[in-house]
């Protein structure tokens, strides 16, 4: 085929297609590249950097970097794994992640990522920032303590729901997700059926009254690491 692009991930020859990102091409070949802000169906954002790979020796976000003929990609090397571990560590200490009582625990992608990397505890000092909770909406609540600024809710509301309920405000360490109203989620046009309510990788945007429905042991990441579905497709 004319639009086939040949490149290498960790010494394995991969055939990608024109227009694919490295992450997509790897996934099609049964190679899982860890990611948090990326979600199929949403415009790639490249913000969490967990999907960092080395492309010809340079760090790139594989969720936004297109495949190119002859590139050499490093994904599972110790150096790349260390970069990812450090990012996950930083995401934990920058927020207030109290897994022990979080409704998302067991189904949380950030937690699952730490499990996959076998992180017993982050190595950086905890920041314990002061953040708020917005429980004004009848069906949905926002807990900013758990937000990792992946922008999935921003993109889903804008691109899938056509509403623009969420967006980022402020810069740098002050950056946060705000709602499209004076202050409260209840004053936006968010509906419980909106896609934006389903995409949060952590427990920052959750549905009310359905917490802890799945028992410990039966949750998404209790037994199998995140990404193992993609890796299982390869062995078939």
Partner 1 sequence: MAKPKVATTSLAGCFGCHMSLLDIDDRILKLVELVDFDKSPIDDIKEFSGRCAIGLIEGGCCNEENVRVLQDFRKHCDILISVGDCATMGGIPAMRNNIPLEECYAEAYLDGPTVHNPSKQIPNDPELPLLLNKVYPCHEVVKIDYHLPGCPPSADTLWEALVALLSDKPVALPYALIKYD
Q: Which positions touch partner 1 (CB under 8 A)?
A: 92, 96-102, 105-106, 111, 114-115, 118-122, 125-126, 128-131, 216, 222-223, 225
E strands along the chain, which residues? Answer: 4-9, 12-17, 52-55, 58-61, 72-74, 133-134, 140-143, 166-169, 176-179, 205-207
- Which is nearer to partner 1, 33 or 113 (by Cβ)? 113
Place of tokens 């022990």: 100
Q: 149 and 47 in contact (C-beta within 8 Å)?
A: yes
Distance in angstroms (rounded) separating the CA atoms of residues 89 and 125: 10
Residue 78: in which H helix or E strand, if any?
helix 78-94
Token digits of residue 117: 């990397």
Q: Report, in Å, the least distance between residue 108 CB and partner 1.
A: 9
- Which is nearer to partner 1, 3 or 170 (by Cβ)? 170
Q: Report, in Å, the least distance between residue 36 CB and partner 1.
A: 16
Q: Report, in Å, the least distance between residue 105 CB and partner 1.
A: 4
Distance in angstroms (rounded) separating the CA atoms of residues 53 and 84: 9
- Which is nearer to partner 1, 57 or 118 (by Cβ)? 118
Q: Report, in Å, the least distance between residue 91 CB and partner 1.
A: 13
Query: Residue 234: left if φ>0, alpha if ψ -120 to 50, beta else—which one?
Result: alpha
Q: Report, in Å, the least distance between residue 101 CB and partner 1.
A: 8
- Which is nearer to partner 1, 190 or 226 (by Cβ)? 226
- Which is nearer to partner 1, 40 or 130 (by Cβ)? 130
């Amino acid at each position: 085929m004319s639009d086939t692009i040949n490149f290498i991930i960790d010494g394995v020859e991969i055939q990608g297609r024109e227009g694919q990102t490295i992450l997509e091409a790897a996934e099609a070949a049964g190679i899982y590249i860890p990611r948090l802000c990326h979600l199929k169906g949403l415009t790639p954002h490249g913000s969490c950097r967990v999907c960092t790979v080395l492309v010809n020796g340079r760090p790139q976000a594989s969720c936004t970097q297109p495949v190119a003929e002859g590139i050499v990609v490093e994904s599972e090397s110790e150096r790349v794994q260390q970069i990812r571990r450090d990012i996950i560590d930083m995401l934990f200490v920058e927020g207030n992640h109290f897994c022990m009582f979080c409704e998302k625990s067991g189904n949380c992608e950030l937690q699952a990522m730490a499990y996959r990397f076998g992180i017993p505890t982050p190595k950086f000092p905890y920041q314990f920032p002061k953040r708020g909770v917005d429980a004004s909406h009848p069906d949905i609540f926002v807990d900013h303590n758990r937000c990792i600024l992946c922008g999935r809710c921003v993109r889903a509301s804008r691109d899938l729901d056509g509403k623009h309920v969420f967006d980022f405000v402020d810069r740098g360490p002050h950056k946060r997700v705000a709602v499209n109203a004076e202050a409260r989620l209840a004053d936006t046009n968010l509906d419980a059926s909106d896609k934006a309510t389903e995409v949060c990788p952590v427990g920052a945007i959750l549905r009310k009254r359905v917490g802890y429905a799945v028992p410990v042991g039966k949750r998404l990441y209790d037994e199998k690491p995140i990404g193992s579905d993609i890796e299982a497709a390869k062995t078939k």
